[in-house]
Amino acid sequence: MNHATQSVLDKFAIAISALCAIHCVATPILLALLPSLSALPLSDHLYHQVMVWIVLPTSSVAVLLGCKRHKDTKVLLLAVTGLIALAASALYGHDLLGEVGEKVATIFGAVIVALAHIRNFKLCRKQECCNAG
């Protein structure tokens, strides 16, 4: 895969992480303001699991491609930490941490994953500029 593919995967993973965090914050507010939305499966546990199954491969491929190029282990450490937090909160968060704890852990994981991808994207972009000249 080339730099363009890795860049698209980084941007996609950042967007998915942001969507995850927005979902966790917005769902309780929307349900309080519009109780009829409770008929929709917005806070369904399945949503979190599906998001994790989308984020895990996308993030893994983008980060590994980037790390292969720029050799920055901080990106890998951030990504692994964030992905573990996301996966753990999706699988065990509600049972171990309760509803609020699950949301906090999910937002924490999403932010960490997004930071890893932002750093990955910037490093790859910077190296691309350095290699061009």
**Cα angle vertex 47, ends 83, 79, to 5°?**
10
The type of residue at 59 is S
Measured over the CA atoms of residue 63, residue 92, residue 106 and residue 37, the dihedral's sign is positive
Predicted pLDDT at 46: 72
Closest of 101, 106, 107 to residue 90, by C-alpha: 106
Q: How far from 76 is each of 50, 62, 121, CA to CA, in Å?
A: 23, 10, 13
Closest of 69, 67, 58 to residue 9, by C-alpha: 58
Predicted pLDDT at 133: 42
Run means of pLDDT, 10 residues per run, the chain, 133 residues? 71 76 68 64 66 84 84 92 90 83 85 89 74 46
Read off the pTM: 0.71
Predicted pLDDT at 120: 87
Predicted pLDDT at 52: 81
Separation CA 57–CA 38 (nearest Å)? 31
